[in-house]
Chains A and B, each alone.
Chain A
Amino acid sequence: AQKVTQAQTEISVVEKEDVTLDCVYETRDTTYYLFWYKQPPSGELVFLIRRNSFDEQNEISGRYSWNFQKSTSSFNFTITASQVVDSAVYFCALRSSNTGKLIFGQGTTLQVKP
C-alpha cells in the first residue's frame, strides 16, 4: 500500500524563524516521485518541487530546501527565514508509477506570525 504521513497538523512560528515540515512515505515501487504543494488561503494548489526516487540530491530554491532520504523514507521541507506570506497549508504527495495518481498526506498548516 502507498501512504504519505505528515505528522505535524499545525505549526506556528514567528517571522524569520526557520521551520521544517516533515513527510514520511510508504511505497513498494522502485520508481516513484515525491512532491510538495502549497495551498494558500485562495485554495489553489501551487506546485513547489518534484523529486525522483533515483535522485537523492537535496535541493535549494531561495529560502526553500528539501531533504530526501530514501533510507528513512522521508522528504522533508525547510523554509529558512520564514515570512508571513509563507502561511499556508503544505501537502506532501507520492505519485503512483503508472497512473499518475497522487497520494496526498493530510497536510501541515503553517502559520507565520509577524
Chain B
Amino acid sequence: DGGITQSPKYLFRKEGQNVTLSCEQNLNHDAMYWYRQDPGQGLRLIYYSQIVNDFQKGDIAEGYSVSREKKESFPLTVTSAQKNPTAFYLCASRLVGEGRPYNEQFFGPGTRLTVL
C-alpha cells in the first residue's frame, strides 16, 4: 500500500541526547515536510524539501536538522540544542505541480517524542 511511514510511534530520550525520527514515503512525492505539534496548538513547520539534496528551514528550525539523500526519505534529527523537544512530530509529503490532485499534503501517523 502507498503511504507515509513514521517510526517509531512513541520515542523516549534522555535530555541532552540527539534523536532521529524516520519518515519514509512510497508515493513518489517530490516534496516532504516536517511539522511539530504542541498540545492545543496548530502545526508549525520545521523543515521542508522540494527536491532531493535540497531543503529549507521552516518557521521553527532551530535545534533541528534534516537530510534528503533519497526521494523517499526525509529524516529529522532533534538535537540537544532544541530546548523543548517534547512534542508530536508529523511528516508530510506532496506531489509538486499545479492542478488537481497535486496540491494536498498527505500526512504520516506521527511520532510522539518525550524527553525525560
Interface positions of A (Cβ within 8 A of B) = 4, 9, 33, 35, 37, 42-47, 50, 91, 95, 99-102, 104-107
Contact = CB atoms under 8 A, between A and B. Distances in A.
Contacts of A46: 107
A91 B40 CA distance: 11
Interface string B32-56: 0100000011111100101000001
A43 B103 contact: no
Contacts of B96: 100
A36 to B, nearest CB: 11
24 contacts: A9-B40, A37-B107, A43-B90, A43-B109, A43-B112, A44-B107, A44-B108, A44-B110, A45-B90, A45-B92, A47-B106, A50-B104, A91-B43, A95-B103, A99-B50, A99-B56, A100-B31, A100-B33, A100-B96, A100-B105, A101-B45, A101-B48, A102-B43, A104-B42
